[in-house]
Chain A
């Protein structure tokens, strides 16, 4: 009670003080509100129950998936089913992802959980406001039969794309996300086409239709690494931090170093491998390339291939390659 009065008093006092800078203040408040809304959307994706079908569209390609997400006594559970093309299911439980490959009767187990749609932020995303500005539209939009708040995420430099998001007015679940290039053209988009929320979600929908009892289990050997200690100097791009540094097997059988950098919204993967291991390989791009919404930049650094991949402008990847140095470690001579 005392606290309430005190806070009200402080508020009144600060209102008097801040009156001349009200305009600037309101802008910062919008920024803070929008950033808070993104964080609420992140929480909603993790902590609420939903069951919906969403569609990803890029150029001429379209792919639909169904996601069932439940939080119960056992924690967070999720089943993601790919509806187009080869059947695939991804089941999240206890921070592990089981990837089901029905035609091979194989379960690939990934030891790390990676948030994806309707999750939005990657890592802590604390510095987001330094590299993006946010604008909230006054009039609500409607997506998948639900009312949502439109948030424009505008990059402050040319290193990253922009985003246009629609966040459920009631539950704060992300309903739609568009990636916008530097000309504000839509690069790709993803949106729920129908969704059930909260108590409307039926718990039995989380169970997979596949019986994986006698399927083969595969656990790819993924080892954490420290790229700097291996002699690689990668000048950081503004706002981008390492999310993951691993050594992993590829389909070719070669072991490749993968670094994932993110500014909280955009992600870049850097793959580094010895040239000798990849001589037989078909075409990894050298220079800039693009497939769909994804840009690729390949370069040779010493005896290594450097391949950067990400949904960021191609110049960003090139800059990353140009600011990467390999200093072979000196072998102690005595």
Chain B
């Protein structure tokens, strides 16, 4: 989602988008910029695109010249399919970061209910851990007993690992 604009693209893009903006009636038209074969072509192309977008009738009689112009325009600037403006562009660059952060913050993990699986449903909700001595559970129980107050049974929970 992150949109990055490289400086070298910006010069090319800015000419196209400036022309696009002028066609849309925004900003002061600087005719000297358009006073070149390419400039006029872009100007015409954007007008054509605008006309086609506004009226279906114009799309019915495409001339060869129209095709040529459009394809040349597309070749010249394939990235710009819709006119872009600078101010909204900055907003689009700025937003995704916040959106991602907000999305991450809404992920909340909760306990999975184990008793819902068919295998466990048959079993009693509480099962007895048999000889706890040799299972890993005993390690956790010992760790708990370190803090369990009145409970007297006292083992060192690091017998194996730490002491080996």
Complex interface: chain A residues within 8 A of B139 (CB):
250-252
A240 within 8 A of B: no
A167 within 8 A of B: no
Contact call A322/B154, Cβ cutoff below 8 A = no
A220 within 8 A of B: yes
A136 within 8 A of B: no
Surface stretch bound by A, among B7-15, B33-41, B76-84, B103-111: B103-111
> Within residues 184 to 198 of chain A, which ones have a CB less than 8 A from any CB in chain B?
190
Complex interface: chain A residues within 8 A of B147 (CB):
114, 122, 243-244, 260, 262, 267, 269
A262 nearest CB across to chain B (Å): 7
Complex interface: chain B residues within 8 A of A331 (CB):
104
A223 within 8 A of B: no
Complex interface: chain B residues within 8 A of A282 (CB):
135-136
Chain A 277-321 near chain B by CB (<8 Å), digits 1 or 0:
000011111111111101110111111101101110010000001
Choose from A88, A101, A303, A309 the contact partner of B144 (Cβ within 8 Å).
A309
Complex interface: chain B residues within 8 A of A108 (CB):
156, 158, 162-163
> Within residues 125 to 158 of chain B, which ones have a CB less than 8 A from any CB in chain A?
125-129, 132, 135-137, 139-141, 143-144, 146-158
A115 within 8 A of B: yes
Choose from A258, A299, A332 the contact partner of B143 (Cβ within 8 Å).
A258
B112 within 8 A of A: yes
**Total number of A residues with any Cβ neighbor in B under 8 Å:** 83
Q: A216-B163, A218-B163, A251-B161 are in contact. Are A54 and B152 (CB under 8 A)?
A: yes
Contact call B109/A283, Cβ cutoff below 8 A = no
17 pairs from A and B in contact (CB 8 Å cutoff)? A63-B153, A65-B154, A108-B158, A117-B150, A120-B149, A216-B163, A220-B158, A251-B161, A282-B135, A289-B126, A290-B129, A292-B132, A294-B144, A301-B110, A324-B110, A325-B108, A334-B97
Chain A residues with a Cβ under 8 A of chain B? 54, 56, 63, 65, 80, 82, 88, 90, 99, 101, 104, 106, 108, 110, 114-117, 119-122, 177, 190, 216, 218, 220, 243-244, 248-253, 256, 258, 260, 262, 265, 267, 269, 271, 281-292, 294-296, 298-304, 306-307, 309-311, 314, 321-322, 324-328, 330-334
Chain B residues with a Cβ under 8 A of chain A? 96-98, 100-101, 104-105, 107-112, 114-115, 120, 125-129, 132, 135-137, 139-141, 143-144, 146-163
